[in-house]
Amino acid sequence: MSDQNARQSQPQFEMQDPRAQYPAPPFPRQPQEAPGLASAMQPLPDHGEDSYVGLGRLRGRRALITGADSGIGRAVAIAFAREGADVALNYLPDEEQDAREVVALIEAEGRRAVALPGDITDEAFSRELVTRAVKELGGLDILVNNAGKQVTQPGIADITTEQFDLTFRTNVYAMFWITQEAVRHMGAGGSIINTTSIQAYRPSPTLLDYASTKAAIVAFTQALAQQLGEKGIRVNAVAPGPFWTPLQPSGGQTQEKVMEFGKETPFGRPGQPAELAAMYVFLASQESSYTSGSTLGATGGMVLF
């Protein structure tokens, strides 16, 4: 079956009510130790494993994705592979179980998967990560800075310096180190995509440090896009709303909020990672050749600005 015919036969491309397309709360209590595993979530997240159909938009491209074991990063890795890209995946060693599944899915598409576990809060590793990805893939065309840390706290007095530092090192410092190194290897036509959040625009009081990092990512994206425009490298961001990923039950939200997660959106449910993948594909592909310095939102109807 051709890609076009396969796409036409997939039910996810049929018009349907987005409110009922995926599970809505209430959800069961499901505490996990950070960083959490997708395989332990109830219901299981949809990363597009059985639904995403590629059309060759990224054929021959080489991509590095952080936080690629689960959640948004996993959905992006699957979509990129099905669009024809080879993918280097970064994740924490504790996430190996989920990462192995992603590697298998990429290889099933006949694409190369390079597993690069390690902690990006370490500057030396972050820079080495890019070097290893370039060596294994033979170059680098796409960078997706997606890995993130989120810990809910009731008030500013409850945020320790250790937590504040680790959130910034994961979400901002690592993005800076990895991007600084990646730019050395990227040429005209390259694409950098950063994962920010609706929290950059509508911060929750219990996510003070996390929201601050996501606002920094928006500014970083806009400034870097202006720097790299003269090199022909595009820089954009994606701002998810509440998405059903391991970040939430492993400390990103209280269990009470996990049970009602996504209920506050106009659609009344959280987003699934599969619902974001096409945004990253668009920003990575030549279809978005005149788009740089932009932030695309996927928020279930909540307004970003």
Q: Write the DSSP symbol of residue 253.
A: S
User: Which listed residue (22, 91, 210, 280) is catalytic?
Assistant: 210
Q: What is the per-residue pLDDT across 116-128, written as a single tens digit (0 to 9) for each?
A: 999 999 999 999 9
d(CA 103, CA 143): 18
Sequence-ordered list of residues with C-beta below 8 angstroms from that of 271, at least 6 positions apart, any chain: 22, 240, 241, 242, 243, 244, 262, 298, 299, 300
d(CA 178, CA 174): 6
pLDDT given at position 11: 66
What are the structure tokens assigned to 149, written together? 């840390």
Q: Say whether 290 is catalytic.
A: no
Helix, strand, coil shares of the chain as percentages rounded to 5? 45, 10, 40
Query: How distant is the alpha carbon of residue 201 from its chain centre?
Result: 18
Strand partners for 298: 240
pLDDT given at position 271: 95
Strand partners for 297: 239
Q: DSSP H helical segments within the chain, as ranges?
A: 3-8, 71-82, 96-108, 123-137, 161-168, 174-183, 208-228, 255-259, 277-284
pLDDT given at position 89: 98
Half-sphere exposure of 189 (CA within 13 A, CB side): 10
- Report all structural domains of the chain as residue ranges with CATH numbers, in order of start: 53-298 (3.40.50.720)
pLDDT given at position 10: 63
pLDDT given at position 5: 46
CB 281 within 8 Å of CB 59: no
Q: What is the per-residue pLDDT across 178-235, written as a single tens digit (0 to 9) for each?
A: 999 999 999 999 999 999 999 999 999 999 999 999 999 999 999 999 999 999 999 9
Question: Which of the residues in the chain have pLDDT under 70?
Answer: 1-12
CB 77 within 8 Å of CB 99: no
d(CA 199, CA 196): 8
CA angle 14–18–20, rounded 5-degree value: 100
